[in-house]
Amino acid sequence: MDTAFRIAGLPAPNPAQVRRIVGLSLPQAVMQLAPKASELQNQTAVAEYKQAFRAARMDGSLHEPLFPGVAELVHRLHAGGWALGVATGKSDRGLRATLATNGLLDCFTTLQTADRHPSKPHPAMLLAAMAQVQALPEYTVMIGDTAYDMAAASAAGTHAIGVGWGYHEAHELIQAGASAVVNSVTELEDMLDAITTR
């Protein structure tokens, strides 16, 4: 983001603010970080971010590790018959690369990205994911670490579970619609079990 903003002629964004826009689609994220930028500066920053991100992936300097225990949980849920999906501000290419790198691509039935939908908190990604796997809202759980995720779930009428290891505080997740915020993968798995046995 620093590189993109510099090339666009914008002051470097605050790193803490950059972390808080994770989950938004890139154009919306740039607009939030630089609300007074011109349309040309916004477009330049978006294009340069994509180029810098792609270059980092190509030269091996990009690292997108998963939080501890998440890969194992995804594999257990997949093996247990859950229809898993992703709703993300990433691009199709970026999401597929991240999932493939972490050995998870085959675990997901539906991948919804910013390439085809409005940015969260709009519920379009979640609605499309449910339609693709023919899931009803009452049997769908959105798991996320930002208020944008929780608000999207609320708008789509699904369950919403916040995770406390991301970039937004627990009270923000609850305020945006989370029914609970968990602080470990074990807690998350227990809560998913509880939802499915109601």
Q: HSE-up of 91 (CA within 13 Å, CB side)?
A: 12
Whole-number Å distance between alpha carbons of 23 and 21: 6
Find, among 107, 111, 120, the residue nearest to 81 by Cα: 107
pLDDT of 63 reads 86
pLDDT for res 23:
86
The residue whose two tokens read 């605050």 is: 14
Q: What is the pLDDT of residue 178?
A: 97
**In order of start, what are the domains of the chain with their CATH numbers?**
2-59 (no CATH), 70-196 (3.40.50.1000)
Q: What is the pLDDT of residues 163-191, one digit of tens each?
A: 999 999 999 999 999 999 999 999 999 99
Tell me the torsion sign for CA atoms 101, 107, 69, 139. Answer: positive
What's the confidence (pLDDT) of residue 198?
56
Amino acid at 42: N
End-to-end CA distance of the chain: 44
d(CA 198, CA 10): 51
pLDDT 10s digits, 57-72? 889 898 888 999 999 9
Write down the pLDDT at residue 195: 80
Average pLDDT, 10 consecutive residues per value, the chain (198 residues):
96 94 92 96 96 91 91 97 95 93 97 95 98 96 97 98 95 97 96 79
Q: What per-residue confidence (pLDDT) applies to 62?
A: 87
Q: Look at residue 194 in the predicted model and tell me its pLDDT.
A: 86
Strands 110-112 and 159-163 come out as unpaired
d(CA 62, CA 52): 10
Residue 176 neighbours by CB under 8 Å, 6+ apart: 121, 147, 148, 149, 150, 151, 154, 160
pLDDT at 196: 72
**pTM of the complete model:** 0.90
